[in-house]
Chain A
Amino acid sequence: MIADRTAATTLLASIASFSYHGDPSPALRGVEVAASPGTLTAVLGGSGSGKSTLGRLLGAWLLGGRDGTLAGSLQLEVAGHPAGSAPLRFTGAPDDPRIDPGAWARHVGYVPQDAAAMLSAVRGTVEEELAFSLENRGVPRAGMVRTVADIARRTGLDGLLQRDPATLSGGELRRLAVGCAVVDGPGILVLDEPLESLDQAGVRTVVELVHAELARGTAVVVLSQHADALIRAAERWLVLKGGEETAAGPPARILQGGAPAESGVVITSPEVVIPSADREPEPDPMPAPPPVVTLPVAGAAAVRTKAALELAGVAFGFGGRSGSSGKEGSLLLEDVDLQVMPGEILAITGPNGAGKSTLLRLLNGLHRPLRGDVRVADESIAGVPTGLVARRLGLLFQHPHDQLFERTVLREVLFGLDRIFGTGAPERAQAALAAVGLGDSGNVHPHELPASGQRLLALATVLAREPSVLALDEPTVALDAHGLERLTDAVSAAAGRGAAVVMVTHDLRFAKTHAHRLLRLDGGRLRQF
């Protein structure tokens, strides 16, 4: 039922304008996309450039009429179906054509930035999740079994078919989301930030998957704010800024101009990053941004200065302490020793699932060690509620979605701030928002911010508290070039006033440039990188 090659499909989109309901200014204006069989098109742009809106329109996750006002046309040319290839023209009038998202998805598969949003959430295994849209289309079971097996092979999910989707790692989840999108055999694939927050192994499998799809004749559109190796393989770039096209054409020509940098695109290594399985890639030769200026890291003088953060013989596992000593094998972390001095910036790297986020959660007591001691500002946090540890240690969560819970940006930063600063809280909140560039967005709902803005807002909630230790979980993820600058400034400023910074990251380039020390967490222990 799924052929070796997909039906040659071309998608032509001409968006004269698209505005969300209730939003006075258009989110997109004058954007043209042409995706032809077997080609890779990259849509680049910084935070808030309109990339995700464009991706959702192409994938019919956003519909003119239902979700906003669309003027322009969408045209699908599917080989062998000349009748259905006429352009759909939209004027924003009530009698505009209506797209059936389910029928559209058979030709255009869209994978959102948050891969988990793709899942139905009511299927218990990977194979059931893959089969979901086939079930909805009434495909006979024998055909479904064949297709699911085929898609599993193509997406490298073979060994995971019986797993609960909720237990997959980031890279596996991304592949499942792509699998769910290609299971109907669409000729067009639209991927929104497909490499985000993946470790090197995850990046490798997704890049391989994209190239395999291209080889099958699928037209692939990748939306990204990083001009990384995958994006550099594209035939054509389209750069967006503020919802408008600022450059379009072959990558080499666009790189010579300033449009990507101006939009906030992060430009990294030109080399194809397909590292071997067990090694992190070499640092890329692009000119590195200047290192941060901080207090000199205490060397011999450390004897006098007390560590801002200290872990001694810390062990942790999710099995809990209920088991007897036989539980040792299931420990995620064992004998972790660490000292971070005031003003020091430490980066920790390691593969997905190594326990990096867990380590950070041990620092403020969200998790408690099975053995060993965690000391913040020279006091043990054993038995101290997280809410009190939070006065001295600020934690940036891995997913802003988990950290943000208030109705407005300002309320978000203000939460709990009065307990530290009393009447000075509003002033601190404003200052923290201004530091991350959200000074004018105080009344916006956090969910309405672009992904980059949400990450920066989460950072502001940490900065506002002026903790003596900052624990940052993947702080660079989702940030465009402007956001990375804000992050760098914030981290230097915090270290400059004597705070210790511990960050967990896959972004080795950022870590090597900005950290005084780089450690690797692997096999439950911290090692020198």
Chain B
Amino acid sequence: MAARLNPLTALTAAAAVLVITTAASSWAVSLTVAVGAVLLAAAAGIVRRVLLAAAVIVVPFWLSLLVIHGLFFPEGRTALASWGPARVTAEGLTFALEMGLRTAAFVLVLMVFSFSVRIPELVAALTARRVPPQVGYVLASTLLLAPLVAARLDKVRQAQESRGLVVGRGIGSRLAAIRLQMVPLVLGLVHDAGIRAQSLDARGFRSTGPRTSFTQVRDSAAQATFRVFAILLALAAVGWRIAESLPAGSLSAWFLSGAGGG
């Protein structure tokens, strides 16, 4: 399913959904988007990885939201409980819930996109649209960085365990292990990058002339139309949101004053 899609179509769709979710600013929309993303991931067979990666990002964020807005929400009126300056208010909890859902929707959509897109195809599609290849490379290596770092970290951990490092289940033991692994991890990655740069040079990566692409990216008139439609829809959502947020009547007042001034 995802393989047939042009990566730019997927990218546009993901961006449009994010913009619309932000503009809508409603927990119902956020929830729908989040559920939709999970269903898409399930259909593509990547739901486990998507949920795991999203949880790593979202859960700490949720906890901080709960502490900050759940306990200290200045506009909160309906106090449910209070300890000194900390008050759990209904408004605070609602706000935290809305923000939390929106973030979850955001992260899930981005994860579904980055786990389902074939990165060489995305780079090829960008190159075809005259995006500088260096940008494409940086984008590709950024999207590929997580697995690369994970693999490297795993190797460092195995090397250290084989020399007597015992990583316990406790959080203290894990933190101590992470501290031991960070410097080797970064130095190893930098070393690899240095070698890689020489190889990229020799393979003509710095050439300034025109480039071509071996990877063929599928596209169709229907997909192109969909992309335009998605962008328009996102723009409309932003326009509608701006109009909504202005004080009632101010828009017509602005028109009137403008007309009067002219």
Answer whether A and B are interacting partners. Answer: yes
Q: In the complex, A119→B203 CA distance in Å?
A: 9
B78 within 8 A of A: no
CB contact under 8 A between A110 and B202, given known A122-B140, A122-B144: yes
Known: A123-B120, A148-B214, A407-B183. A416 touches B141 (CB 8 A): no
Q: Within 8 Å CB of A385, what residues of B?
A: 161, 166-168
Q: Nearest-CB distance from B204 to chain A (Å)? A: 4
Interfacial chain B residues near A395, Cβ < 8 Å? 162
How many residue pairs link A and B with beta carbons under 8 A? The number is 153
Are B202 and A102 interface neighbours, CB within 8 A? yes
A403–B159 touching, CB < 8 Å: yes
A118 and B119 CA atoms in complex are apart in Å by: 19
Do B119 and A124 have beta carbons less than 8 Å apart? yes
Pair B211/A386 contact, Cβ less than 8 Å: no
Tell me if B201 counts as interface (CB < 8 A to partner A).
Answer: yes
A124 & B120 in contact (Cβ 8 Å cutoff):
yes
The complex places the Cα of A101 from the Cα of B197 at a distance, in Å, of: 11
Task: State whether the Cβ of B257 lies closer than 8 Å to any Cβ in chain A.
Answer: no
Which of B11-19, B89-97, B184-192, B231-239 is the interface stretch? B184-192
Q: Does A136 contact B (CB under 8 A)?
A: yes
> What would 18 more interface pairs be, CB under 8 Å, given A61-B198, A132-B205, A417-B164?
A61-B199, A62-B198, A102-B205, A104-B202, A112-B195, A120-B200, A120-B205, A136-B133, A136-B203, A136-B204, A184-B204, A366-B161, A387-B164, A402-B155, A405-B187, A415-B163, A420-B164, A461-B163
Could you mark each residue 104-126 of chain A with 1 if its beta carbon is under 8 Å from any beta carbon of chain B, else 0?
Answer: 11000010101001111111110
A478 at the interface (CB under 8 A from B): no
Chain B contact surface mostly: helix
Q: Is B25 an interface residue (CB 8 A)?
A: no
Distance in Å: Cβ of B239 to nearest Cβ of chain A: 38
Residues of B close to A137: CB separation below 8 A? 204, 207, 209, 211
A102 contacts B161, C-beta separation under 8 Å: no
Interface centre among A114, A121, A137, A390, by most chain B C-beta atoms within 10 angstroms, is A121
Query: Given the known A-B contacts A122-B140, A405-B156, are A390 and B201 also in contact in the complex, defined by CB atoms under 8 Å?
Result: no
A388 interface contact, C-beta 8 A:
yes
Q: Known contacts A60-B202, A134-B212; is A402 also within 8 Å of B159 by CB? A: yes
Residue contact B118 to A124, C-beta cutoff 8 Å: yes
If A124-B118, A128-B120 touch, whether A139 touches B164 (CB-CB below 8 Å) is: no
Chain B: CB-nearest residue to A132 = B203
**Least CB separation from B184: chain A residue:** A405
Q: In chain A between 126 and 168, which residues have their CB closer than 8 angstroms to a CB of chain B?
A: 127-128, 131-141, 144-145, 148
Question: What residues make up the interface of A, taking CB atoms closer than 8 Å to B?
Answer: 56, 59-62, 101-102, 104-105, 110, 112, 114, 117-125, 127-128, 131-141, 144-145, 148, 180, 184, 364, 366, 385-388, 390-391, 394-395, 397, 402-407, 415-417, 419-420, 447, 461, 465
B202 in contact with A386 (CB, 8 Å) = no
B214 CB to closest chain A CB, in angstroms? 4
Residue ranges of B at the interface with A (Cβ–Cβ < 8 Å): 118-120, 123, 127, 133, 137, 140-141, 144, 148, 155-156, 158-168, 183-184, 187-188, 191, 195-196, 198-207, 209-216
- Is the beta-carbon distance between B120 and A122 smaller than 8 angstroms? yes
| Listed residue (B120, B137, B212) with the most chain A CB atoms within 10 angstroms of its CB | B212
Closest approach, in angstroms, between the C-beta of B139 and any C-beta of chain A?
9
Contact assessment for B196 and A102 in the assembled complex, using a CB-CB cutoff below 8 Å: no
Q: For B168, what are the chain A residues with a Cβ–Cβ distance below 8 Å?
A: 385
Q: In the assembled complex, which residues on chain A have CB atoms less than 8 Å from the CB atom of B200? A: 120
Between-chain CB contacts (< 8 Å), 21 pairs: A112-B195, A120-B200, A120-B203, A120-B205, A121-B148, A133-B203, A134-B212, A134-B214, A136-B133, A136-B204, A136-B205, A138-B212, A140-B212, A385-B166, A391-B164, A397-B162, A405-B188, A415-B160, A416-B163, A420-B164, A461-B163
